[in-house]
């Protein structure tokens, strides 16, 4: 899975892939790269995310569309409200990529959680995070989409790194 800061880096990656694998049509027929495209909660996508989304669609490359809503700071304090907002943001990104190029592979990302009310930090590996991952997986299944969720930090090469992130 690839990642970049924005459109310029994504375009450079696609140019390199096109050279290595033949041309743009080869990439469309057999996708080679997937990037994470995050919304900027609350309820919007920033310019870099939109640039990446459009370039992935142009080249027919899959994109992991995810919202990282932090309940209590960038979203509602309740789990239901957090998941409603995360679902809306994720589906908006998936709809956009399909409007640019119908059939572009998209993965439903499950990444939301509640914020730590003392520090405002994004809380990983909490019971609320696990519930959000499960809710995201169920929503993805309802929509017939593949899902990827996770977010715990793991040392490279450790047992934990083998299971996080994981397909929902």
Q: Which residue has the tokens 């059939």?
A: 103
The answer to whether residues 52 and 24 touch, using CB atoms and an 8 Å cutoff, is no
Q: pTM, whole model, 2 decimals?
A: 0.85
pLDDT tens string for the chain (168 positions)? 555 577 889 999 999 999 999 888 888 889 989 989 999 878 899 999 999 999 999 999 999 999 989 999 999 999 999 999 999 999 999 999 999 999 999 999 998 989 998 998 888 888 888 899 999 999 999 999 999 987 655 555 555 555 555 555
Q: Which residue has the tokens 């919007």?
A: 44
- Would you call 22 helix, strand, or coil by DSSP? coil
Domain-wise residue ranges, the chain: 7-167
Question: Within the chain, how many helices (H) and strands (E) appear?
Answer: 6, 7
Q: Of all helices (H) and strands (E), which one includes residue 70?
A: strand 70-71
Q: Which residue has the tokens 């979203």?
A: 75
Q: What are the contacts of 94-97 at 24+ separation with CB within 8 A?
A: 94/65, 94/145, 96/45, 96/50, 96/53, 97/53, 97/56, 97/57, 97/63, 97/65
CA dihedral for 149, 152, 156, 157, sign (positive or negative): negative
């Amino acid at each position: 899975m690839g990642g970049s800061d924005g459109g310029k880096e994504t375009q450079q990656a696609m140019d390199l892939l096109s050279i290595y694998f033949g041309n743009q049509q080869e990439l469309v027929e057999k996708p080679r790269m997937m990037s994470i495209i995050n919304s900027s909660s609350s309820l919007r996508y920033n310019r870099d995310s939109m640039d990446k989304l459009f370039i992935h669609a142009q080249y027919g490359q899959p994109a992991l569309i995810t919202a990282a809503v932090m309940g209590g700071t960038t979203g509602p304090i309740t789990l239901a409200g957090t998941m409603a907002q995360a679902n809306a943001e994720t589906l908006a990104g998936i709809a956009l990529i399909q409007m640019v190029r119908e059939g572009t592979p998209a993965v439903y990302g499950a990444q939301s959680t509640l914020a730590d009310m003392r520090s405002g930090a994004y809380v990983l590996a909490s019971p609320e995070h696990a519930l959000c991952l499960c809710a995201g997986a169920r929503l993805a299944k309802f929509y017939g989409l593949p899902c990827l969720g996770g977010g715990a930090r793991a040392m490279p090469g450790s047992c934990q790194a083998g299971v996080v992130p994981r397909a929902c």
